Structure 1
């Protein structure tokens, strides 16, 4: 195994420790809540204690998830790479930095699925570098490479849709911005790949796969695998 391979596996192992620290810090408010609830109810009747602590457990679980999402967003705000299309060797520091962001995204993935769509989801992606307009609905945890994505006013990203601004080809990591236009719709479980631009008012049908660097004009419907023009929206 060469030096880069050793470094890659070492960082992956370290990330397990990082994850435990992030989840541990995120749990602090929840632990405070549980201890406070226990001490407040210690002299109450058994049924009151059971109900009170049970409700506290549910709230603590949600609080832990929200704290995790926000902490990861803050870290992403600090270490996200700069925007702009780029090609770099797969074995490079940029790739390692991108990999760290990807790992952080996975740490919060299950929570984003649980709370989407919501203002918390939008705020998380903004902190991770995504440019999000007004009245945007994001109903997916698969907005990858958020720092390379722009979602304009009134756009809707359907449940389970995947937006990827990266690919690996010819020994290179390729990062290319993805732009989703105003009032456009990305259908459920569709796949948007690097360099794609969705025009204002356009619709990408459910489960469609949009090939890399595809440009969809405004007010058009595209669908299929690979996605192709279906009709113009009148």
Structure 2
């Protein structure tokens, strides 16, 4: 049986555990989410420990100072603790991702299967950083290190100016590529009751314009350009040197692009 978007349904259950997982999908999902919250709490707690230790130390110093310097030191302690927590969280989450079963593979099938667990866990861990500290390290060496530690392949001198990323272990960015601000890249999509996990490849020297969206199962060739706010749908293959734009994104011929530029410049 095939769903409306043409992707095969899940394979038969391989064991009793997976049969129960599918039969009691909502209950299983609720339990897994609670377990993920528990795991997240341990990661956040480990990252908070050095921040709390620093705060305790500086608050102790502040207690021996006059009122105004004491409050200044306490304020500095809290602010500094935030950055210590964030940097520690990068390391903790990367370590969790390495030791836990987070090896995401291309997949087509139902959400409630054992094959979907690594994808769920990998993104759950990544989002701990994405929704807390990632904006503070985007465009820095620490952000690049973290993305690589989470499995993302990043070429030499690539410029990544976005934290709106999912499935980093299935994303490849080539040398000298430019990922513009607020670009959304995720190596998955869903439809017809299916989850589809498929890699995204951005070629050497390719440019993804401001706030464009690149979905799973997309290959963008070397020197290609995706115009701002465009949506590159699953299965798209952007050829080397091509320019794509629009919703959904489509190839734009050089003559058409030159005409756009003349309009923008007021030459027409």
TM-score w.r.t. length of structure 2: 0.80
Residue in structure 2 matching 1:195, options 207, 210, 217: 217
Residue in structure 2 matching 1:145, options 167, 186, 190: 167
- In structure 2, the gaps of 5 or more residues are 1-21, 259-268
Q: Larger Cα Rg: Structure 1 or Structure 2? A: 2
Q: Give the secondary-structure state (helix, strand or coil) at the position aligned to 1:27.
A: helix
Cα gap change, 1:22 to 1:82, in 2 (>3 Å): closer
Q: Give the secondary-structure state (helix, strand or coil) at the position aligned to 1:37.
A: helix
Matches within 5 A, 1:1-234: 2-78=23-99, 79-83=101-105, 85-110=106-131, 111-232=133-254
Between Structure 1 and Structure 2, how many residues are aligned? 233
Q: What RMSD in Å do the two structures reach over aligned CA positions?
A: 2.1
- In structure 1, the gaps of 5 or more residues are none
Q: Give the secondary-structure state (helix, strand or coil) at the position aligned to 1:154.
A: coil
2: CA distance between counterparts of 1:180 and 1:21?
34
2: CA distance between counterparts of 1:33 and 1:143?
31
TM-score w.r.t. length of structure 1: 0.91
Offset, 1:88: 3.6
Q: Give the secondary-structure state (helix, strand or coil) at the position aligned to 2:172.
A: strand
Q: Give the secondary-structure state (helix, strand or coil) at the position aligned to 2:244.
A: strand
1:197-217 Cα shifts (integer Å, max 9, x gaps): 111121111110001121112
1: CA distance between counterparts of 2:136 and 2:104?
29
1:9-54 Cα shifts (integer Å, max 9, x gaps): 1011222222222211111111111111122333222222222221
The ranges of structure 1 where at least 4 consecutive aligned residues each deviate by more than 4 angstroms after the TM superposition are none
1: CA distance between counterparts of 2:62 and 2:195?
56
